[in-house]
Amino acid sequence: MTASGGINLNPGLLDLLTFRPDWPMLVALLLVGGVYFWQYAAAHNRNWWPAWKVALFSLGLLLWFLTTQSQSNSLTGQSMALYMARLMMLAEVVPPLLVLGLPQIRLDSRRGLGQLLGLLLDPWVALAVWAAVIIFWNIPAGFNASVVTNSAAQLLPALYLISSLMVWGVILRPLPGVQPAHVGSRGWFGLLAAVPMMTVAAIWLYTPRVLYTPYVSALCLWNLSPLQNQQYAGWIMMVAGLPSLFLAFGQLMLWLIKLADGDSLPKPPRS
């Protein structure tokens, strides 16, 4: 089936993955990958930069490329569910792979890059940025404007990726030299960070009408109704957020076990 504008409303996986460049995102991806592999090639001691980290980072780059450099970018107006799957890939899959792929870097938290990263990875800063992206761009006024102005296709994926990198940077703590947070505080942070996304997902799932004007009368992919499209988007967002939520619970359990064992209590001075 094809819409009046020549859009295939029943695309297959190969159709969705057909190369369609998003140049700003492609340039960012190539810069990040280039710097990473250049530094890896120049590293003299590979003990602190094992092959599994390179594999995870490479997988993150590949998924970043497939998500942003494909024909699916042009189908935002025909499938809210597909659009949300792309955003969740950039928010919940690509960032942890990139963060886990970073080597052990020692930075001084009081100067230069260490001070900047310490600010960006501050839990309250990361939470504020993430909540602003999730809440503002998913209220009807913000989402409608982003679809109409086409910023949904380019700006919003970049914002999801950047804010999610900040959130996963706090949760996974790749730079302990500038991130003093212990496992318990990271668990609480993970729970708080999950609240905005799970709230939006629940609203999409249980609202009995289409919330966003561009989708009210849209011809949706795969013969879905606009309301089904919105509900599927809610399911995608909710399921995508479960791994980080489980990780937060796991960190809290680990923290409670340490408390029970007395590891978090002040140690008596040595005589």
Residues of the chain with confidence (pLDDT) below 50: 4, 271
* pLDDT confidence of residue 267: 55
What's residue 218's pLDDT?
87
Name every residue whose Cβ is closer than 8 Å to that of residue 6 and which is 6 or more positions away in sequence: none
The set of long-range contacts for 91-94, using a CB threshold of 8 Å and a minimum separation of 24, is 91/160, 91/161, 91/163, 91/164, 91/240, 92/164, 92/240, 92/241, 92/243, 92/244, 93/60, 93/63, 93/240, 94/60, 94/63, 94/64, 94/67, 94/161, 94/164
Please tell me the predicted confidence (pLDDT) of residue 2.
60
Q: Tell me, what's the pLDDT at 19?
A: 95
| pLDDT tens-digit map of 158-213 | 999 999 999 999 999 998 888 877 888 999 999 999 999 999 999 999 999 999 98
3-state helix, strand, coil in the chain (%, to 5): 70, 0, 30
Residue 267 burial by Cβ neighbours in a 10 Å radius (0-12, 13-18, 19+):
exposed
Burial pattern 89-115, b for ≥16 Cβ within 10 A else e, equals: bbbbbbbbbbbbbbbebebeeeeeebe
pLDDT at 114: 86
Distance CA 50, CA 145 (A): 45
List the domain boundaries for the chain. Answer: 14-260
